[in-house]
Amino acid sequence: MNISSRDEGGVTVVGVEGNLDTNTAPDAQQHLDGLQDDGVLKILVNFADVDYVSSAGLRVLLATARRLGGSGGTLRICGLNETVSEVFEISGLSMILNVFGSEAEALEGF
């Protein structure tokens, strides 16, 4: 898994590439925690290059959303493929998190 970050008009866009699973979730959590420790309050995680997400990956997203929400921030998700989207639907996360079809849609009005 590769993780990258870039700034898009005050929103930190996090690109994840590969699988977000038990093996990679700690690295993802560390990256997202580091952003928040640096004062980032608006995070968009782009899943366009994610092939698979496990429950460990979902926990990372929930923890990030809770921590951001507690400090007045927001987490948005975009670019889910069919497999990952199904995991979000089954787990109920698509109802809890702000999920968008594309990065452009997610950035609009952020």
- Cα separation, 105 vs 23, in Å, equals 30
CATH code of residue 99: 3.30.750.24
Q: Which domain holds residue 95?
A: 2-107
Q: How many CB atoms lie within 10 A of CB 90?
A: 9
CA atoms in the 13 A half-sphere facing the CB of 2:
5
Pairing of β 11-20 and β 2-8: antiparallel
Q: What is the pLDDT along the chain (110 residues), one digit of tens a residue?
A: 899 999 999 999 999 999 999 999 999 999 999 999 999 999 999 999 999 999 999 999 999 999 999 999 999 999 999 999 999 999 999 999 999 999 999 999 89
pTM of the model: 0.95
Total domain count for the chain?
Answer: 1
